[in-house]
């Protein structure tokens, strides 16, 4: 019974995701679903990415949080269009939530739409929202055992950004293991190492991302 309900929810979600996909495609906007655990640094990476890409392309943002609008305010300060979704209690964004806010964004004026999901390494990876690609941020402070413990998100992502590398000297995270276990789950995964604090690695990441658009 429980499984049946979940299946129906996922099927309904995929149908709406497909409608979103068509709207994005018609508007010519590339859509990225940005995922990661609470505190991985998703919003800060988003700020750095927008700063790096703003001279080259028009970016819009959808912020997903359970409550509050702190993240949307941070992004709005960069002068890009942003909409905040509050899920109420849900631990992920779904296609319907995205569908309901699309009219709030100037899709046809955008080159790229970045959707920041709720902080969670599990459920966001299960719910398509109509994106062209999923990517995830992992803070090196989360430790090297995450790929094996939360495999679906690593499998579903096209890119993995390893953030907070400025903290590596002060911890015993085995980066070799993170990379190996991630690539074992997903051999096509593009891995980037960055520090949003120092700015290290941001250019390489942003350049790769902008190349996907063309």
Residues lying near its own copies in the complex (CB under 8 A) are found at: 2, 5, 9, 37-39, 41, 65-68, 70, 89-91, 118-123, 126, 139, 141-143, 145-146, 148-152, 164, 166-167, 170-171, 197
What values do phi and psi take at 84, rounded to 5? -100, 130
CA distance 77 to 67: 19
What values do phi and psi take at 92, rounded to 5? -160, 160
Of 9 and 204, which has the nearer Cβ to its own copies? 9
Residue 10, classed as helix, strand or coil, is helix
Q: Which residue blocks in 62-197 are alpha helix, DSSP H?
A: 70-76, 95-101, 146-149, 151-156, 175-185
Of 65 and 110, which has the nearer Cβ to its own copies? 65
CA distance 198 to 214: 29
Considering the complex, what minimum distance in angstroms separates the CB of residue 25 from its own copies? 28
Of 77 and 171, which has the nearer Cβ to its own copies? 171
Of 31 and 189, which has the nearer Cβ to its own copies? 189
Considering the complex, what minimum distance in angstroms separates the CB of residue 179 from its own copies? 16
Considering the complex, what minimum distance in angstroms separates the CB of residue 149 from its own copies? 6
Considering the complex, what minimum distance in angstroms separates the CB of residue 214 from its own copies? 34
Of 5 and 211, which has the nearer Cβ to its own copies? 5
Considering the complex, what minimum distance in angstroms separates the CB of residue 88 from its own copies? 10
Looking up tokens 């739409």, which residue turns up?
Answer: 113
Residues 6+ positions from 121 with CB-CB distance below 8 Å? 35, 36, 37, 136, 146, 150, 153
Looking up tokens 């699309």, which residue turns up?
Answer: 102
Count other C-beta atoms under 10 Å from residue 47's C-beta: 17
């Amino acid at each position: 019974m429980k499984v049946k309900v979940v299946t129906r929810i996922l099927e309904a979600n995929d149908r709406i995701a497909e409608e979103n996909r068509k709207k994005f495609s018609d508007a010519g906007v590339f859509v990225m679903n940005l995922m990661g655990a609470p505190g991985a640094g998703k919003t800060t990476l988003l700020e750095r990415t927008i700063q790096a890409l703003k001279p080259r392309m028009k970016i819009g943002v959808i912020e997903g949080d359970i409550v509050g609008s702190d993240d949307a305010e941070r992004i709005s300060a960069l002068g890009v269009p942003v909409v905040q979704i509050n899920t109420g209690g849900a631990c992920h964004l779904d296609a319907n939530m995205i569908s309901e806010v699309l009219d709030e964004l100037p899709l046809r004026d955008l080159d790229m739409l970045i959707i920041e999901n709720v902080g969670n390494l599990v459920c966001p990876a299960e719910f398509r929202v109509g994106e062209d690609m999923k990517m995830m941020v992992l803070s090196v402070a989360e430790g090297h055992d995450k790929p094996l413990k939360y495999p679906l998100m690593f499998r579903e992502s096209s890119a993995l950004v390893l953030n907070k590398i400025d903290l590596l000297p002060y911890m015993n995270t085995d980066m070799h293991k993170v990379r190996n276990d991630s690539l074992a789950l997903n051999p096509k995964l593009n891995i980037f190492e960055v520090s949003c604090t120092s700015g290290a690695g941001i250019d390489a990441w942003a350049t790769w991302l902008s190349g996907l658009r063309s």
